[in-house]
Amino acid sequence: MTSRTLIKNLAALPDGPVSITGWVDTVRDQKKVQFIILRDESGAVQLVNPAVRELDPEGVSVGAAEAFALTEQISALSHGTFLTVAGELKHDERVKLGGLEVKIGSLDVVSEALETPIAADSSLDKRMDWRFLDLRHPKQHLIFRVQTTFEHALRQYWIDNDFIEIHTPKLMASASESRAELFEVGYFDTTAYLAQSPQFFKQMAQPAGFGKVFEIGPAFRADPSFTSRHATEFTSIDAEISWVDSHEDVMRMHEELLVAAFTAVKAKHGAEIAELFGVELEVPTTPFPRIPLAEAKQIVADHGYVVPRADADMDPEGERRISQYVKETYGHDFVFLTDYASSIRPFYHMRHADDPGLTNSYDLIYNGVEISTGAQREHRIDVLIAQAKEKGLEPEELGFYLDFFRYGVPPHGGFGMGLARVLMLMLDEHSIRETTFLFRGPARLLP
- Give the angle subtended at the CA of 10 by the CAs of 9 and 14, to the nearest 5°: 120
Q: Is 93 one of the annotated binding-site residues?
A: no
How many CB atoms lie under 10 A from the CB of residue 82? Answer: 16
Q: E strands of 347-425, at which residues?
A: 361-366, 369-376, 412-418
Pick the closest to residue 18 from 85, 93, 100, 94 (CA basis): 85
| Phi, psi (deg, nearest 5) at residue 183 | -95, 125
**Strand, helix or coil for residue 379:** coil
Strands 184-187 and 82-91: unpaired
Identify whether the C-beta of residue 49 lies closer than 8 Å to the C-beta of residue 74. yes
Identify whether the C-beta of residue 386 lies closer than 8 Å to the C-beta of residue 395. no
SS3 string of 35-83?
EEEEEECCEEEEEEEECCCCCCCCCCCHHHHHHHHHHHHHHCCCCCCEE
Q: Is 12 one of the annotated binding-site residues?
A: no
Q: Is 420 one of the annotated binding-site residues?
A: yes
SS3 string of 331-351?
CCCEEEEECCEHHHCCCCECE
Euclidean distance between CA atoms 123 and 136, whole angstroms:
16
Identify whether the C-beta of residue 336 lies closer than 8 Å to the C-beta of residue 373. no
Q: Is 233 one of the annotated binding-site residues?
A: no
Euclidean distance between CA atoms 185 and 419, whole angstroms:
25
Q: Is 418 one of the annotated binding-site residues?
A: yes
Euclidean distance between CA atoms 322 and 367, whole angstroms:
10
Q: Is 377 one of the annotated binding-site residues?
A: yes
Pick the closest to residue 17 from 91, 88, 65, 78 (CA basis): 88
**Strand, helix or coil for residue 213:** strand
Question: If you ran DSSP here, which 8-state letter would residue 440 be given?
Answer: B
Q: Is 380 one of the annotated binding-site residues?
A: no
Q: Is 219 one of the annotated binding-site residues?
A: no
Q: Is 421 one of the annotated binding-site residues?
A: yes
Question: If you ran DSSP here, which 8-state letter would residue 237 be given?
Answer: E
| Residues making up the binding site | 177, 221, 370, 373, 377, 418-421
| Residues making up the binding site for L-aspartate | 177, 221, 373, 377
| Residues making up the binding site for ATP | 370, 418-421
